[in-house]
A and B are shown apart, each in its own frame.
Chain A
């Protein structure tokens, strides 16, 4: 099936305004008669729930955490892009749009990206009005910095905790609506199924994570704002509770999963130190502005960094990419690190890390300046690794960071299931095959504050929604199925813990669907994933009871979903016989070892339809057209 993204016609600059001029509206007095469920309370969810509450909808906001304020958007460090051109350095909405499409290696939908660039300016204003303490200049104006290799300074930031401050802003707007009685926050609830009635998403079933009870909620629309699936890889920079469950449960109900193999790998993370490692910590890539990346020239050189003379060092990024040097995009830097480690030149006890050296910067700028610029990151590194980066080089290694892929949505952010909207990282729409720095926060807030209030109104205003209550058979059917699944897991007393099997799955994905992929490896991965899925069913051990807090059960349900989801992730990587952005297929590379896109055959969004466990999913395609951003080969030489 060929999917239609429903992008409005007309010039790209006017699409969104024309759209807004002609949509259906819901009268203020009628809005409170419509219930909307928002699943997840990160930037996308909190901003959506708050904005819809302000409009007068009756909103239920669910989070698996104990408070909306803890959602993982909080961990974003660097900043948020906004095409304000406050720096007078040539930025514009078009340029932000173009950079995002190009950075995504031309695998995003133009219409959505342009709209995102348009609303980016409003986001900044909104956040300032909420009291977000953005960095300011001495004169009192907002400060900007250049980020992620962009040629303009369009990134707004709040020290190294921009995500936190933006989330707390959205959270405070959300809590204001709780105060006003338009939003009800339901913490410690996990969505375990989507309820479809009459072909439309009309509610969900969730588990109360404190009491273990099932709770049914009916609504006129369901908004999925549940973030990314990076934790399928076991180790990632994602928080422990980030998962694919809500999205995957929707996929099982018929929602298409878009570009699942597009998982971004971030080059500057603190490397794994042992099997106990539960997560990887990202350090802002701003470190690459002054740090130099190198490994020993010879394989198996076990000398201390300080004992290796300049002549025996290989500053491989500077050598291979003289123009961009250490500032090449995330995917390029990550692959290069993997390549040198694969050659056996990696450093550290595990041999899976490279040096990020500030010795030259300290010599050139002095330790104080380096401390001023990166002090908090150095402290963090020292705290975690126990090593002093002022004296010895840092060790870094790439880690799974962000999911560009997600549920397929059209221009309205609605999935192929009517009434199911997907916002933020949970959808696939804006970042193509690679996300640029400081764009995730922009997308989450753009979707929640400025897109969904219009597109949801358009849906509700233009659809005859018959009354549905939680007594409907569809809720009962969903609850019975979930109950059966949970009872089955609780009765599993096999030989391996959930963690062990998750770790095995993660290893397969990281090794074969990570920074570099090839056909044979992916075919092997498909087999291994199938094997692990079978083993999980037979041999997992889940302890504890259902009627209480049971983190093992929560985890077991999530890993169960990763096991199914991993199949479509691998198949997507296998299907896409080209290299683009994060998706580097070794068979398709330029002479210089860079991504070789195949626009003629693969300029499409791959949207996968679940057909049943252990059954081959169906592939649907949405062709991508590039009319406003010219297709170009990325080149960072």
Chain B
């Protein structure tokens, strides 16, 4: 198998309060079947051999579902191509001699912890602010008592597919989290189970989003274009409508 050599300009930042900068490395023996994060593994093995601190990056399942990995590769969150995470970006997308600029997801609400690791705790706090259905364990009726049409179930699934990686925030020029919030709001507001808390939920989640310091939506749709699950921005309008409705009602 032929190998290639790539130049990697990667963001190095030792800690949240220290300055960061792009540092150049050369990574050889890269093969087409390698994923982008495996290429970073190779880089890190080089750094270990040289006795230097490795590039810190989050990565877990390496099959595009956990949402751990994520960085901006050549100006696009998760790198070139659609519908995939950085761990599903394969080096066959690049050619020998290419330069890869690798930066962390940048947003005020996603402070950099180290190198490419960012703190996405804001996402958890937004879910905690109502991104759930209050259903205590043990109190549920039979699953078939609630009839949910196939189309509704599918629509809810489309929204529920969100993996919470944060690429939407990273791509948005305003570092807005509306796609993330609307995916959860959408999922639960399409389903009958979600109706009782529908308006309370949207107001609390949106308010939390604002508190976290995310920006507003400019309706450009960059988020959808980089979303590994290709979640539609149509959910955003549902969320906005529900939010406006509840605020105007004085909820």
Contacts and interface: CB of A to CB of B under 8 A. Distances in A.
B250 interface: no
Nearest to B147: A140
A386 B92 contact: yes
B54 interface: yes
A140 B149 contact: yes
A383 interface: yes
A620 interface: no
B60 A239 contact: yes
Interface in A91-139: 122, 124-139
B247 interface: no
Contacts of A129: 133, 135, 139-141, 193
A187 interface: yes
Contact of B153 (A136, A175, A282, A541): A136
Nearest to A139: B147
Interface in A581-612: none
A75 B66 contact: yes
A47 B59 CA distance: 24
A79 to B, nearest CB: 14
Interface stretch (B33-41, B170-178, B230-238): B33-41
Nearest to B52: A543
A456 to B, nearest CB: 13
Residue of B51, B62, B161 with most partner-chain A CB within 10 A: B62
Given A131-B133, A142-B143, A66 B56 contact: no
A134 B153 CA distance: 7
A122 B138 contact: yes
Residue of A50, A136, A140 with most partner-chain B CB within 10 A: A136
B137 A51 contact: yes
A383 B84 contact: yes
Interface in B130-156: 130-144, 146-150, 152-154, 156
Interface in A34-91: 47, 50-51, 54, 65-72, 74-75, 84, 86
B188 interface: yes
A172 interface: yes
A284 interface: no
A276 B34 contact: yes
Interface string A159-192: 1010011001001110110110000010100000
Interface residues of A, number: 85
B144 A173 contact: no
B84 to A, nearest CB: 7
B68 A50 contact: no
Interface residues of B, number: 84
A113 to B, nearest CB: 21
A51 B135 CA distance: 10
A134 B148 CA distance: 10
Nearest to B137: A51
A493 interface: yes
Nearest to A449: B137
A137 to B, nearest CB: 6
A114 to B, nearest CB: 19
Nearest to B88: A383
Contacts of A158: 157, 160
A72 B48 contact: no
Interface in B70-115: 84, 88, 90, 92, 113-115
B137 A543 contact: no
Interface of A is mostly: mixed
A567 B134 CA distance: 46
Interface in B21-51: 31-35, 37-39, 41-42, 44-45, 47-49, 51
Contacts of A548: 14-15, 114
A274 B140 contact: no
B164 A67 contact: yes
Interface string A198-225: 0000000000001000000000000000
Contact of A386 (B33, B38, B52): B33
Interface stretch (B4-12, B116-124, B217-225): B116-124
Interface string A404-448: 000000000000000000000000000000000000000000000
B130 A131 contact: no
Contact of A172 (B32, B62, B127): B127
A173 B65 contact: no
A273 interface: yes
Interface pairs A-B: 4 shortest CB-CB: A140-B147, A172-B132, A129-B140, A129-B135
Interface of A: 47, 50-51, 54, 65-72, 74-75, 84, 86, 122, 124-142, 158-159, 161, 164-165, 168, 171-173, 175-176, 178-179, 185, 187, 210, 239-241, 273-274, 276-279, 281-282, 349, 380, 383-386, 449-450, 453, 493, 497-499, 541, 543-545, 548-552
21 contacts: A50-B137, A65-B66, A74-B65, A75-B66, A84-B143, A122-B138, A125-B140, A125-B141, A125-B142, A125-B143, A128-B146, A129-B133, A129-B141, A138-B149, A179-B130, A240-B59, A278-B37, A279-B62, A281-B62, A498-B48, A550-B53
